Amino acid sequence: MIGAVRPFSLPLADPLDTARGTIERRDGLLVRLEADDGAVGVGEATPLPGWTEHYDECESVLADAVEAVDGGADPDDLLGDLDSTPAARHAFDLALADLRASREGVPLYRRLGESGDDPDSAGDESARVESVPVNATVGDAPVAETVAEAERAAKAGFECLKVKVGARQLSADVERIEAVADALPETELRADANAAWTRQQAQQFLDAVGDRLSYVEQPLAPTDIAGLAALSGPVALDETLAEVEFGDALDADPDAVILKPMALGGPRAAVGVAERAREAGVEPVVTTTIDGAVARTAAVHVAAAIPDVPACGLATRKLLESDLGPDIAPVADGRAVVPQGEGNGTADTWGHHD
Ligand SMILES: O=C(O)CCC(=O)c1ccccc1C(=O)O
Ligand SMILES: [Mg+2]
């Protein structure tokens, strides 16, 4: 097997304002693996501190891993060395999964998860997934702008919206959610506080608008499991999963968990966590960290591997100014198309981007 790695930098068209600050640009690395039989897999690492290692660490461990592959190391053995650098691990896990699914001539999602273990299911048309539901992502903004953005998304066909909160006064966020809920009574609403609140603030928010939301994502600090467990109202965990073992995170008694393959060490790891969530009666929601086309498409495959997946945070292409290649999992009418070609379907991005 031979390996190669190359950096990229993607500016956002429309910077995303959150309680953790503004995301303006996504820098990452593509990894290409080529097996002796000529099969190729491409993976992406787009680190985001708070969820993954920093860029410099990611770059350095990927350079070492690719060198080890060139030196004859078994890439599956290298995955274990990348457990503490989830974005780097994502790139390798995806490249390997892409390579194997491509070699077998099946789309990646058919090789992820429980059903993916059964080679006979590959030709089973009933297992085909055409599309997955997605939510629109509405950044922090004053109330009128928030409502206008939400109405644009609803008009574009989204039946589920996620609104960023926690970046302004609690009363202003309550007003924003009430205004959107009043304007769009048929639309499912979620809020994402990105760990901005105290226990008291979070409970105040839930008491005010909890009944208009399907959940509030990460209302409290990631490690405040006792505080999260004590909240009354629907809660989802996001940042917590990057810091706490999944079994311990379940002690927070969440309604949903936000699975970012980039933060969980790859598409195969993410599907494994989704299966554990379902067993515990917790809904798995798949999202990107605003990734390039390779990782975003892989996240769509992850969502497609989860039966009856709820709306996922995968409509993030439009936040980017430019991308690694063409969008083969486009969003229309609130759904992302699941690619049916072999593997992840993005191997040609390697030669595409500049
Ligand atoms: O879930 C979505 O709608 C889009 C993804 C998203 O919100 C996000 C994107 C980058 C970094 C963090 C987050 C987050 O969920 O907190
Ligand atoms: Mg979140």
| pLDDT on residue 113 | 75
CA of 105 to the centre of ligand 2 (A): 34
Q: Is 248 part of any domain?
A: yes
Q: Specify whether 276 is located in the same domain as 312.
A: yes
CATH code assigned at 200? 3.20.20.120
Any domain includes 113: no
Tell whether 166 is covered by a domain.
yes
Do 153 and 101 share a domain, yes or no?
Answer: no
Whether 151 is covered by a domain: the verdict is yes
Catalytic amino acids?
164, 260
What ligand has the least distance to the C-alpha of 51? 1
166 ligand 1 Cβ < 6 A? no
- H or E, element range at 104: helix 86-104
How many beta carbons lie within 10 A of that of residue 76, not counting itself? 10
pLDDT in tens, 90-121: 999 999 999 999 999 999 999 997 656 565 65
177 lies in the same domain as 88 = no
Atom of ligand 1 nearest to the CA of 285: 1
Query: Quick one: 205 and 278 in the same domain?
Result: yes
CB of 240 closer than 6 A to ligand 1?
no
From the CA of 162, the nearest ligand is 1
User: Element (H or E) spanning 150, and its range?
Assistant: helix 143-155
Q: Is 123 inside any structural domain?
A: no
135 and 71 co-located in one domain: no
Compute the distance from residue 217 Cα to the ligand 2 centre, in Å. Answer: 6
User: Which structure tokens are listed for 177?
Assistant: 């959610």
d(CA 214, CA 223): 22
Establish whether 192 is an annotated binding residue. Answer: yes
Per-residue pLDDT reduced to its tens digit, 284-309: 999 999 999 999 999 999 999 999 99
Statement to judge: residues 30 and 179 lie in one domain: no
Q: What are 352's two structure tokens?
A: 């595409």
- Three-class HEC string of 286-305: EECCCCCHHHHHHHHHHHHC
Residue 183 lies in a domain: yes
Kindly indicate whether the ipTM for this predicted assembly is greater than 0.95, answering yes or no. Answer: yes
pTM, to two decimals: 0.97
Whole-number pLDDT of residue 172: 98
119, part of any domain: no
Q: How far is CA 7 from the centre of its chain?
A: 20
Q: Is 348 annotated as a binding residue?
A: no
Residues 202 and 338 in one domain: yes
Distance 287 CA to ligand 2 centre (A): 9
Task: Judge if 149 and 20 occupy the same domain.
Answer: no
Structural domain containing residue 101: 2-105
Sign of the four-CA dihedral 228, 229, 231, 235: positive
Q: Which residue type occupies 178?
A: E
How remote is the CA of residue 2 from the centroid of ligand 1, in Å? 34
Cross-sheet strand order for the sheet of 2-18: 2-18, 21-34, 40-45
Count other Cβ atoms within 10 Å, centred on residue 153: 23
Residue 225, phi then psi, degrees to nearest 5? -65, -40
Q: Give average pLDDT by consecutive 10-residue segment, the chain, 354 residues.
A: 96 91 96 96 97 98 96 92 97 97 97 69 75 97 98 98 97 98 98 98 98 98 98 98 97 98 98 98 98 98 98 97 96 98 94 61
Q: Which of 105, 123, 153 is the last residue of a domain?
A: 105
* Ligand 1 near 238 CB (within 6 A): yes
pLDDT at position 14 is: 85
Q: Which residue is closest in CA terms to ligand 1's atom 13?
A: 289
Residue 313 Cβ < 6 Å to ligand 1: yes
Q: Are residues 184 and 280 in the same domain?
A: yes
Which residue bears the tokens 């997946």? 309
Q: Quick one: residue 162, left, alpha or beta (phi over 0 = left, psi -120 to 50 = alpha)? A: beta
Q: Please give the pLDDT value at position 19.
A: 86
Counting ligands in written order, the one closest to the CA of 140 is 1
Question: Does one domain contain both 94 and 212?
Answer: no
Atom of ligand 1 nearest to the CA of 18: 16
238 and 282 fall within a common domain: yes
CA gap 228, 251 in Å, rounded: 9
Is 118 a domain residue? no
> In a 10 Å sphere around its CB, with 0-12 CB exposed, 13-18 middle and 19+ buried, how is residue 59 labelled?
buried
Tell me, rounded to whole angstroms, the distance of Cα 243 from its chain centroid: 16
Closest to 135 measured CA to CA, from 329, 327, 311, 17: 311
Among 105, 139, 166, the domain-final residue is: 105
Identify which of 140, 243, 258, 290 to mutate to test ligand 1's pocket (most ligand atoms within 8 A of the CB). 290
Q: For residue 212, what pLDDT is reported?
A: 98
Spatial contact of 34 and 1, defined as CB atoms under 8 Å apart: yes
Q: Residue 91 has what pLDDT? A: 98
Burial (CB < 10 A; 0-12, 13-18, 19+), residue 29, is buried
Last residue of a domain, one of 105, 120, 143: 105
Q: How many domains does the chain fold into?
A: 2
Q: Are residues 210 and 340 in the same domain?
A: yes
What's the gap in Å between 338 CA and the centre of ligand 1?
Answer: 20
Q: What is the CATH number for 86?
A: 3.30.390.10
